[in-house]
Amino acid sequence: MTGWHASDDLVARYGDGTLPEPDAWSLEKHLESCGPCAGRVSLAVRETSAGVALAEVREAVLGAAPAWASASASRTKRPTPSLPRLTHILWAAGPAVRGAWLPAVLLVAIGAVALAYGADVTGVRPLLLAVAPVVPVVGVALSYGAHADPLHEIAAATPSAGLRLVLARTAAVLAVSLPLLTLAGLLVPSSGAPGAAAWLLPGLALTLASLTLAGYVGLRTATAVIGGGWLCAVLVPALAAPGSRLTARLTEQLAYCLDGAPVQGAWAAAAALSAVLLVARRPAYNHLEPR
């Protein structure tokens, strides 16, 4: 049951087949969780000429095969299988679990461990910590929009769209990237860098900040600004270091950006502020553009 119900005009147009396809998809999605509207739509369909014809066919079938009809009726009373619910969850999660993004994150995590032990490369953890906070930011940008979902236009017209759909796909991105990259950070040598989990709060704050900014400039532009800003903050000072002090300077910069209770507290405050602004701007996400 939801707080929104279909109007009489919407129900009538659905019944006679004049409702545009995106609106019909939206109504059908609503009917999955709203019994009263489902009953009204069913009644409207039965009152059309097609509904009358279907009722006559149904009566003929039931009269010709009562045993089959009884078995069919008993099947319809059984609980709905969990597979459709799982399908809806996977659809809402987006490319983070059903596209190429998950293998890409796995490649980053496994590649970091392989470089540290297979190629004996030093300074892998600092580099991983520098990149990790922008991975979920990029994942969110790649999980929403027509470029990521062939059914985006239909999905955007359903009651489950807007901020709800964006947050569902963000949660899927975080569920994929956080454990994999943190585990990779634990497995590689520290090289004096902050702890493997030090990037979690910054990563969450940057993701929420990009979603908040997306309400103004679009999702891909927001993620480019937020993600690019982070990379510039940690990589530019390290690249500007003289001589061969790249790893040492990167470690110092990461300690400045990630290490210590005050720094982590600031990231937590930034995440909380972004979440508040995100909720306050909720209507803006009903027509969110991935630009």
Please tell me the distance from the alpha carbon of residue 275 to that of residue 278, in angstroms, as a whole number.
Answer: 5
Residue 208 has what pLDDT?
93
Confirm if 38 and 31 have CB atoms less than 8 A apart.
Answer: yes
The per-residue pLDDT string of the chain (291 residues; one tens digit each, 9 = 90 and over) reads 456 788 888 888 887 778 887 787 787 778 777 878 877 887 787 777 666 666 666 666 656 555 544 544 444 444 444 444 555 555 555 555 556 667 778 888 888 888 888 777 777 888 888 999 998 888 888 777 666 665 556 556 655 667 777 787 888 888 888 888 899 888 888 777 788 889 999 999 999 999 999 888 888 888 899 999 999 999 888 887 666 677 788 888 888 899 889 999 999 999 999 999 988 888 777 766 655
- Chain centroid to Cα 167, Å, comes to 6
Provide the residue ranges of all domains of the chain, joining segments of one domain with +.
Answer: 8-80, 85-287
- Tell me the three-class secondary structure of the chain, residue by residue: CCCCCCCHHHHHHHHHCCCCHHHHHHHHHHHCCCHHHHHHHHHHHHCCHHHHHHHHHHHHHHHHCHHHHHHHHHHHCCCCCHHHHHHHHHHHHCHHHHCCHHHHHHHHHHHHHHHHHHCCCCCHHHHHHHHHHHHHHHHHHHCCCCCCCCCHHHHCCCCCCCHHHHHHHHHHHHHHHHHHHHHHHHHCCCCCCCCCCCCHHHHHHHHHHHHHHHHHHCHHHHHHHHHHHHHHHHHHHHHCCCCCCHHHHHHHHHHHHHCCHHHHHHHHHHHHHHHHHHHHCHHHHHHCCCC
Residues 127-143: tens digit of each pLDDT? 888 999 998 888 888 77
Residue 206 has what pLDDT?
94
Please tell me the distance from the alpha carbon of residue 23 to that of residue 29, in angstroms, as a whole number.
Answer: 10
**Single pTM value for the model:** 0.64
User: Which residue, among 37, 43, 39, has the nearest Cα to 4 in the 3D structure?
Assistant: 37
Residues 90-99: tens digit of each pLDDT? 555 555 555 6
